Structure formats: C-alpha cells, structure tokens
Chains A and B, each alone.
Chain A
C-alpha cells in the first residue's frame, strides 16, 4: 500500500497541464468548429445567425461539392494505391542486404520531408511546357507538346503523380519496418520447402504484414484525403475545378468566399468520413 500512496501523491498536479492542453488545444477547436457550422456567418461581417443544418444542406446539395467529392475519390484511391504498391516494392528490394543500402534509403526519404509546397513547385516546373525537363524536353521528343496542367484530365493525373512522389517514401519506410520484424527463420524454412519468391510473398509476407499494411493504408488515407499543399501549389484546383479536391473546396469556401459556416460544415462532413473509414479499416484488419 505504501507504493500506491507514493504514486497517488502529486497525481492531480501533474494531470493539470494535460487537462489544460486537451481542453484548450483539442476541445476548443472542435467545439468551435461544430458551433460555426451551425451559423450563417460570413467573415468580416458582424452579423451572424443560427442556421441549424442549413449550412450542411447547402454544402451537400451543391453541384460543386459533388464534383469535388468525385475528384477526391479518384485522387485518394489512385494516390493511396500508387504509393502503397510502390512503397511495398521498394521495401521488398531494400530489405535485402547490400552495400550503400542506407544511403539509398536516406536519398529515397528526401521527397517525403521537403516542404510539400516545394514538391508542388518542383513538379509544376518539371511539367512546364517551356522550361520543364518533362514538359519541355521529354514529352516533345515523344511528339507531345501541350500544357499538361492546363488539360483537366492530365492535370488530375499530374497532381496524383506528384502526391505519389511525395508520399511513397513514408509507405516504404513503414512497410520496411514491418518487413524487418518478420523473423528470418520463416523465410529459410519456406526456402527449404522449395517455395519461390512469389509464394513466399503471398503466403508469408502479406499475411504477416496485414496489420502494418492496414496501418499504412489508414495513415495514407487520412493524408491523401486532407492533401492541400501539393495540389494548391501545382494547380490551385484548376483548370476550372478539375483538380479541386474537398480540402481545396473548403479553403475556397472559407477563405476566398469567407463563408465560415459552410466551410466548417464541410470540415465536419470530412471528419465524419475520415472517422468512418478509419474505424472500418481498423475493424477489417483487426488492429
């Protein structure tokens, strides 16, 4: 019992900062976001009034929302799938032991930790028709001479490519960490039994990595769903609204049209979608 009393001492004094941090940093933004979403509220104007679910109705029924939702679905699915597949392949290759492995690993990490805005610029520059290595040199060699970011379909493809470029390293590092936790003996045993790499991959690696893969997908989903920087820097949502995903729509609504109520409502809707998908995924892979 001596131990308990010793532990109980000071307990509350130490929890005070925690409670404060939570109250101030987490509850406040959430509560305020919910509150704002129920108000007709244009920033810079003093008057505001209770809207009930009015903002939600306006957001969900607008054609721009539906268009952006579709763009977001295409963006999220392609970007998540692309970066997971590439990251997994990289992890398998770099799980081998060879000289220079650590240097390659570090070099591969760079695109993930540069500012996403700089990554967006990098690709915009690369694809530019006048000065870009791809848009100005490689594509004309193949007979393609067009402004990729000016064409709706190609622009969406380009922002997905840039996002995959930024996000693959993280998936690679997460999956590599997962791979390294698999005991070597399992592979040796499989090898002795005459299993080829394809069989090992399907029968051993993927089942054992299920949990890590699930986690990678959840993290990647949340990131892709809330991606703003890369798209904003590359196209600003354009041409037209061809690359306008939900976060860009939210930014436009809140800070270009100053409709804080509708922006908050959209944020709440997005949060609900995120929570729904994450918890479904968690249950599916039994994290």
Chain B
C-alpha cells in the first residue's frame, strides 16, 4: 500500500525521529566507551575528541575476560543440550499426535508465562544442595529450563510442515525411525535448527535473572556484570560503557540475520 501526500510526510518524519530515538542511546554509549573518564564529564559534549581504547584494555586485562568466556560457554553448551533433547521430543510431538501430546505442548509453553523468580526457587534449592551455586553449570541448567521447551515448540511447528511421505518411503525401505530422523528430517529442518540456535544464543547471552540469582563471582555472566556494576557506585563511565558495548556485540552481529526469524521465535510459530 502506498502512503501518499501528508501521510507520506508524517511517515518520513516519524521514521527519522524514531531512528534517532532508537540509535542515539547506543551510539552515545559506543562513543563514550572511547573517551577517558575526564572527557565523559565535559558538558556540552565535544563532537571531536582523541579516542582511546584504554577502557577496552581494562575490560580484558582486568580479569573481566573470564566473564565473557563464561557467557559464551553457557550459550554454546545450551544450544547443544537443547538440540539433543529438543529434536527427538519435537519430532515425536509433531508425528505422534494425540490428545496427550497436544497438552504437553501447552504445558511446555506455560513455563514461559511463569515469573522467573518463582521458577528459579527450585533450581536455586537444587543447586545449593549439590554445591553448584556460582558455577556455569547452574546457569546452564536454569537456561535449559526455558530453552528446551522453546526449541521443542519451534522445531515441532516446523517438522509438522514437512510432508510425511518422504519419511514413509524410507521406513518402507527398512530404515529405522532414528535413521529417518537423522538422515531425512534433520537435513530438511536445518534452517529452523540454525534459527533456533541463534535465538537460544541470544536468550542465553542476554539472560540476567537466573544468572544473577545463581552466581556471584566465579560463574558470573556478562549481564550480571553489567547489572552489578551499574547498580554499584562505580563511576568509571568509559569502563562501564566498554563492557556494555562488548555485551551488545552479538546483537550487532545477528541483527541482520534474526529479524526474519525473531517473530516466529517470539510468537512460537503462530506468526511467520
């Protein structure tokens, strides 16, 4: 549909204003991360200044590299674990339909509606009992709680659309169910598997609450570091900005890739 006349003008003005609203905050943090502490205090801000990477050096030489390593580890292990459990479950839900399996799907979803501070209580108690508090294992387990149902549901909706006939011919030829899953369904589902993997990475990388409750120093992830520094009386602004910018890097990388899939991911397949 074409916007015309004054509607077109409204549209352009609105878009420009919104783009500024959307991007200036991030740009401001990025710019400030290249300043010295003294430069951040200069108001009105100077357009031109001598950029420095001191803040970034401090992030990675100041022992904070480990936090980024933790976050990466949690996200990557989560992707693999969610796939190993999620793919067979999604397959069976998609192919063996019955009243029971339909309800299981709903139950998987309902976990996403529960407030995190309620769900985290059993996890917290379990992890304390097994002395796993403040480890990345605890964070991994907590994130899987959300990510497995998420992977199952999205993959299920995708596998349902794959025609059953291509599987049947393989089964008639004597392939086992497992073989059809690995050799036929999995290759066809690859686009969705990649999408789910990226969305899991983003979720896991961004997640604050579970990680915040379950870790305090050794197992700390990036959002926990950001939140605890932002809440403290640390006024090393360039350092805080540099950490935030580093935490945003996956978003910058994936922004072009995910925009098509994020809708499907968030509406859990209801809109694609």
Contacts and interface: CB of A to CB of B under 8 A. Distances in A.
Contacts of A206: none
Nearest to B113: A274
B96 A14 contact: yes
B41 interface: yes
Contacts of B247: 114-115, 117-118
Interface stretch (A50-58, A60-68, A73-81, A122-130): A122-130
Contact of A125 (B3, B14, B32, B113): B32
Interface in A80-113: 86, 89-90, 92-96, 102, 104-113
A113 B115 contact: no
Interface string B238-263: 00110010011011101110110011
B145 interface: yes
A33 B119 contact: yes
A33 B119 CA distance: 7
B256 A115 contact: no
A192 interface: no
Contacts of B32: 125, 131
A228 B208 contact: yes
Given A233-B227, A271-B118, A18 B252 contact: no
B223 A117 contact: yes
B123 interface: yes
B114 A174 contact: no
A21 to B, nearest CB: 5
A29 B145 contact: yes
Nearest to A267: B118
B117 A232 contact: no
B57 to A, nearest CB: 20
A8 B135 CA distance: 43
B80 interface: no
Interface residues of B, number: 99
Interface residues of A, number: 102
B114 A184 contact: no
A133 B101 CA distance: 53
Interface stretch (B61-69, B168-176, B189-197): B168-176
Contact of A226 (B2, B115, B148, B250): B115
A284 interface: no
Contacts of B112: 222
Interface string A1-39: 001001101110111011101100111111011001000
Contacts of A69: none
Nearest to B84: A17
A248 B231 CA distance: 14
A271 B272 CA distance: 27
Interface string B212-234: 01000000001110110011000
Nearest to A133: B28
Interface string B164-205: 000010011000111000000000000000000000001001
A116 B93 CA distance: 33
A77 B122 CA distance: 31
Contacts of B83: none
Contacts of B47: none
A25 B111 contact: yes
B26 interface: yes
A18 B255 contact: no
Interface of B: 1-4, 7, 11-12, 14-15, 18-19, 21-26, 28-29, 32, 40-41, 43-45, 85-86, 88-89, 91-93, 95-96, 101, 104, 107-108, 110-125, 144-145, 148-149, 152, 168, 171-172, 176-178, 202, 205-206, 208-209, 213, 222-224, 226-227, 230-231, 237, 240-241, 244, 247-248, 250-252, 254-256, 258-259, 262-263, 266-267, 270-272
5 contacts: A43-B125, A122-B29, A125-B29, A177-B263, A200-B1
